[in-house]
């Protein structure tokens, strides 16, 4: 697993596009427009909590800084930890991947391309919330001397979990029988037949277009050597060439 700073997926693959045979993309419902509002809504309790209890934290400013600084990396490690529990590979962990801070995630974990079960996708997103917000809140009840610090950890993590929680709300509203890939969700057309997923991507040097094929059949995803073009892949490759001025 690689850990990278100030780089997002576009640095590794300026564009990745997918298309598939025997399935269509299941598009998310539009909760996204509330995301920015939610970022602020989730940060408000944290802000109020720190201001109201500043006297408690004032005597230990160094610890306050350390907790604030470590909350994001530990949050991302929790996502990676769930991948490990679920037996999924992690390709990389990216910190501060975008120039805009508020409206985009400030860090994320990128698991390798694979098919996931719905509960796994939900738990992948929810794992940091469980470990760093729910568990400390419960511990705070039983551990009065550390109560303020546990609540601080819980609220700090809550404010970094906005995008995860929005994703989980999306997933929970999805109907049964979909195929989950983290990058997208598929609705299979004919369940008796295999699904082929074409992945088209371009190298950072913009010198080569890669075309990979994955077959999902009998609950298993395998990358196949049998790479073939369809009307959609031909159109996609043409789009790539025009977008990146390739020969
Ligand atoms: Zn997260």
DSSP conformation letters of 131-178: IIIIHHHHHHHH-GGGHHHHHHHHHHHHHH-HHHHHHHHHHHHSPSS-
Task: Report the alpha-carbon distance of residue 216 to residue 108 in Å, rounded.
Answer: 26
- Ligand 1 centroid to Cα of residue 160, in Å, is 7
Percentage of residues of the chain with pLDDT beyond 70:
94
Residue pair 143/136 in contact (Cβ under 8 Å)? The answer is no
- Ligand 1 centroid to Cα of residue 232, in Å, is 33
- Ligand 1 centroid to Cα of residue 214, in Å, is 27
Residue pair 15/203 in contact (Cβ under 8 Å)? The answer is no
pLDDT band at 223 (very low <50, low <70, confident <90, very high): very high
Residue 81: per-residue pLDDT: 94
Residue 149: per-residue pLDDT: 92
- Ligand 1 centroid to Cα of residue 65, in Å, is 20
Report how far apart, in Å, the C-alpha atoms of 47 and of each of 32, 51, 52, 54 are.
24, 6, 9, 10
- Ligand 1 centroid to Cα of residue 154, in Å, is 14
Quote the DSSP letter at residue 215: E
More confident residue, 29 or 97: 97
- Ligand 1 centroid to Cα of residue 11, in Å, is 21
Residue pair 24/187 in contact (Cβ under 8 Å)? The answer is yes
More confident residue, 127 or 91: 127
- Ligand 1 centroid to Cα of residue 114, in Å, is 19
Residue 40: per-residue pLDDT: 79
- Ligand 1 centroid to Cα of residue 210, in Å, is 29
Domain ranges of the chain: 8-22+189-247, 32-175
- Ligand 1 centroid to Cα of residue 125, in Å, is 6
Which position has the token pair 């800084």? 65
- Ligand 1 centroid to Cα of residue 158, in Å, is 10
- Ligand 1 centroid to Cα of residue 165, in Å, is 8
- Ligand 1 centroid to Cα of residue 127, in Å, is 8
């Amino acid at each position: 697993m690689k850990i990278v700073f100030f780089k997002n997926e576009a640095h590794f693959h300026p564009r990745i596009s997918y298309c598939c045979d025997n399935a269509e993309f299941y598009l998310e419902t539009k909760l996204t427009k509330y995301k920015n509002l939610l970022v602020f809504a989730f940060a408000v309790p944290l802000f109020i909590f720190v201001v109201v209890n500043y006297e408690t934290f004032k005597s230990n400013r160094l610890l306050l800084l350390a907790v604030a600084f470590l909350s994001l990396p530990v949050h991302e490690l929790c996502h990676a930890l769930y991948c490990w529990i679920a037996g999924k590979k992690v390709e990389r962990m990216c910190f501060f991947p975008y120039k805009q801070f508020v409206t985009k995630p400030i860090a994320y974990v990128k698991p390798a391309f694979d098919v996931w079960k719905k509960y796994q996708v939900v738990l992948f997103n929810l794992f940091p919330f469980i470990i760093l917000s729910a568990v400390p809140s419960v511990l705070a009840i039983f551990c009065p001397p550390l109560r303020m610090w546990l609540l601080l950890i819980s609220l700090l993590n809550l404010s970094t979990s906005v995008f995860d929680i929005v994703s989980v709300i999306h997933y929970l509203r999805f109907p049964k029988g979909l195929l989950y890939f983290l990058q997208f969700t598929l609705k299979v057309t004919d369940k008796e037949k295999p699904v082929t997923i074409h992945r088209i991507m371009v190298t950072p040097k913009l010198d080569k277009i890669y075309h990979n094929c994955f077959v999902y059949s009998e609950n298993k995803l395998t990358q196949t050597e049998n790479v073939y073009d369809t009307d959609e892949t031909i159109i996609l490759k043409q789009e790539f060439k025009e977008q990146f001025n390739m020969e």
